[in-house]
């Protein structure tokens, strides 16, 4: 999509649809809104006065301009209550309005939203770009009959005079973030018969080639040589080779400490021998969203080009049942020497991440962020509104939290009290891979923490509730969301900027 900035008059803007944001209950029109209303002979104020348009969040109302404006339609976009408005809702409301405008056939869009208290011209243009560029991607990639599909080709963002340089920078950044997130989403959307571990490795090689990054891919034999019994156990049931992938972005020089982004890449999670119920099992094609987010983040980081050392690790395995598959009660030894009693083969994400995180540290990482669709309990804990964040030390968790705040990707921290470790005790091995029902998201994190070396920092993003949606949202269609891409990218940009 061609995204540009215009600081001219709203009435002179050419577009199929000019989207303007209005707050819930707003009756006063000023600035560009007043100019538009005047040119439309009061059509907007009449809709407001009659309460035909109330400004509820994600509400949309079309007004045909009949030649009174350069734009063919005005789309009134509801922003919700003014005191709740932020860059978060700026992004989601822009996406919802763009989706509404496209439904009417609009292929060229322009957008004018009010500023939010937390937002200046650059962040605003970035949020609007991200909202529209991400909001307009649908998961219908395998539909043969797509004739009615409308493609939006251009977006113009209205900025105040004097703000256009900052807004253009926001557009540049927003485009990078949105395109990288859309890469993650498109990988996640592919069904598991297409997107298996070998194909994910091929996708990683494409990114490596495009940006001149070093890439290392371990298959079954290389994992055996390195004693990676934990990830190998999960791979036993699958005919597809597991792939442990490391992408290396090393532009930080010798002084900068290396950060590893480690993603769970279960390309399909049947549960293995501890098989899942049939209902909703198809969603488990999304169990590689963590690894896909790592690849998206590496792409965005390579586009931004910060002075940083980053290793993206993708732990890609298919978790299948079968005659060769791992059994409950099996004991495996991870590459740091720790033994694990696999009491439930469906708790496989932590098993693949264990060896992935050990490897990342062997490759030199001192700081780790892992990202994974790890626990159904994450949905119970926070619902779909936020990603669960855990980790230690707290300064590193805070650093990740700040990056998430900048991204508009909500996270909420859960505690790690020493007592949780008790739940992972095994009678036969160093630890068990499940900790019972209480605090399932936390005990999963505590399991992973056992593979972080003393003195290194670690943060854990459980995106089980946020990586994909089972239904259409106003601002995103059903399917994968790209959760974590922008947070991880901002984390690296912040660190490179000494923030
Ligand atoms: N991939 C699932 C977690 C999941 C569930 C992601 C729902 C997205 C939506 C994970 O591998 C899993 O099966 N976890 C088990 C762990 C349990 C056996 C301790 C779970 O959450 O039930
Ligand atoms: Zn599982
Ligand atoms: Zn899983």
Three-class secondary structure assignment of 364-408: CEEEEEEEECCCCHHHHHHHHHCEEEEEECHHHHHHHHHHHHHHC
The 10s digit of each residue's pLDDT in 304-362 is 999 999 999 999 999 999 999 999 999 999 999 999 999 999 999 999 999 999 999 99
Which residues are paired to 6 by β-bridges?
Answer: 158
Q: Which bound ligand lies closest to the C-alpha atom of 271? A: 2
Whether residue 330 has its Cβ less than 6 Å from ligand 1: no
Say whether pLDDT at 232 is over 80. yes
Find, among 384, 388, 406, 385, the residue nearest to 87 by Cα: 406
Question: Which amino acids are annotated catalytic?
Answer: 276, 350
Task: Tell me what pLDDT residue 415 has.
Answer: 98
Instruction: Report how far residue 265's alpha carbon sits from residue 286's, in angstroms, rounded to the nearest whole number.
Output: 9
Distance 276 CA to ligand 1 centre (A): 9
272 lines ligand 1 (CB under 6 A): no
Coil, helix or strand at residue 73: strand
In this prediction, residue 147 carries a pLDDT of: 77
Q: How far is the CA of 282 from the centre of ligand 1 (A)?
A: 13
Q: Using a 6 Å cutoff on CB, does residue 406 contact ligand 1?
A: no
Average predicted confidence (pLDDT) for the chain: 97
The three-class DSSP label of residue 234 is helix
Please work out whether the CB of residue 348 comes within 6 Å of at least one atom of ligand 1.
yes
Is residue 409 lining ligand 1, measured as CB closer than 6 Å? Answer: no
pTM for this prediction:
0.98
Q: Is the pLDDT of residue 100 over 80?
A: yes
User: Three-class SS of residue 100?
Assistant: helix
154-158 and 60-64 strand pairing:
unpaired
> Counting atoms of ligand 1 from 1, which one is nearest the CA of 276?
13
Q: What is the CA radius of gyration of the chain?
A: 24
For residue 284, the ligand 1 atom closest to its alpha carbon is 1
CA of 269 from ligand 3 middle (Å) equals 5
pLDDT at residue number 160? 85
**Taking ligand 3, which is a single-atom ion, which protein residues have CB atoms under 5 Å away?**
266, 269, 287, 349
Q: For 33-85, how does the pLDDT look when each residue is reduced to its tens digit (9 = 90+)?
A: 999 999 999 999 999 999 999 999 999 999 999 999 999 999 999 999 999 99
How large is the average pLDDT for residues 372-379?
98
pLDDT tens digits, one per residue of 189-229: 999 999 999 999 999 999 999 999 999 999 999 999 999 99
Picking from 31, 167, 21, the residue whose alpha carbon sits closest to that of residue 85 is: 21
Ligand nearest to the backbone CA of 283: 1
**Is the pLDDT at 463 greater than 80, yes or no?**
yes
pLDDT value for 119:
87
Query: 375 in ligand 1 pocket by Cβ < 6 Å?
Result: yes
State residue 474's pLDDT score: 95
423 pLDDT more than 90:
yes
């Amino acid at each position: 999509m061609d995204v540009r900035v215009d600081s001219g008059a709203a009435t002179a803007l050419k577009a199929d649809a000019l989207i303007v944001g209005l707050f819930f209950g707003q009756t006063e029109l000023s600035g560009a809104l007043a100019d538009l209303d005047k040119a439309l002979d009061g059509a907007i104020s009449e809709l407001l006065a009659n309460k035909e348009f109330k400004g509820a969040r994600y509400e949309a109302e079309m007004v045909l301009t009949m030649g009174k404006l350069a734009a063919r339609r005005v789309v009134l976009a509801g922003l919700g209550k003014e005191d709740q408005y932020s860059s978060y809702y700026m992004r989601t409301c822009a996406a919802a309005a763009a989706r509404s405008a496209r439904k009417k056939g609009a292929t060229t869009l322009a957008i004018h939203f009010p500023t939010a208290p937390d937002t200046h011209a650059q962040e605003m243009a970035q949020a609007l770009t991200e909202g529209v560029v991400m909001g307009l991607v649908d998961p219908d990639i395998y539909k043969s009959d797509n004739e009615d599909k409308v493609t939006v080709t251009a977006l113009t963002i209205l900025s105040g005079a004097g703000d256009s340089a900052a807004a253009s920078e926001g557009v540049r950044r927003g485009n990078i973030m949105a395109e990288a997130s859309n890469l993650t989403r498109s990988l996640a959307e592919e069904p598991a018969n297409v997107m298996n571990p070998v194909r994910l490795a091929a996708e990683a090689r494409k990114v490596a080639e495009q940006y001149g990054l070093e890439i290392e891919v371990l298959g079954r034999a290389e994992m055996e040589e390195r004693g990676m019994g934990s990830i190998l156990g999960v791979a036993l049931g699958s005919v597809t080779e597991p792939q442990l992938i490391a992408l290396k972005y090393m532009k930080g020089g010798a002084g900068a400490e290396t950060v590893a982004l480690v993603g769970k890449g279960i390309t399909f999670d049947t549960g293995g021998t501890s098989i899942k119920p049939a209902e909703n099992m198809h969603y488990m094609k999304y169990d590689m969203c963590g690894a896909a987010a790592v690849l998206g983040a590496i792409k965005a980081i390579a586009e931004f080009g910060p002075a940083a050392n980053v290793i993206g690790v993708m732990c890609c395995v298919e978790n299948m049942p079968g005659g060769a598959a791992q059994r409950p009660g099996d004991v495996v030894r991870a590459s740091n020497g720790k033994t694990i009693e696999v009491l439930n083969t469906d708790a496989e994400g932590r098993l693949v991440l264990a060896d992935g995180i050990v490897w990342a540290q062997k490759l030199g990482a001192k700081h780790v962020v892992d990202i994974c669709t790890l626990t159904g309990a994450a949905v119970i804990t926070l619902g779909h509104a936020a990603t669960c964040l855990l980790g230690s030390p707290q300064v590193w968790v805070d650093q990740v939290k700040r990056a998430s705040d900048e991204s508009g990707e909500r996270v909420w921290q859960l505690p790690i009290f020493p007592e949780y470790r008790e739940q992972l005790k095994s009678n036969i091995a160093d630890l068990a891979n499940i900790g019972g029902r209480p605090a399932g998201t936390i005990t999963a994190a505590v399991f992973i923490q056992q593979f972080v070396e003393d003195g290194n920092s670690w943060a854990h993003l459980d995106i089980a509730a946020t990586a994909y949606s089972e239904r259409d949202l106003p601002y995103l269609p059903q399917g994968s969301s790209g959760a974590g891409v922008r947070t991880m990218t901002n984390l690296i940009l912040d660190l490179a900027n000494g923030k």
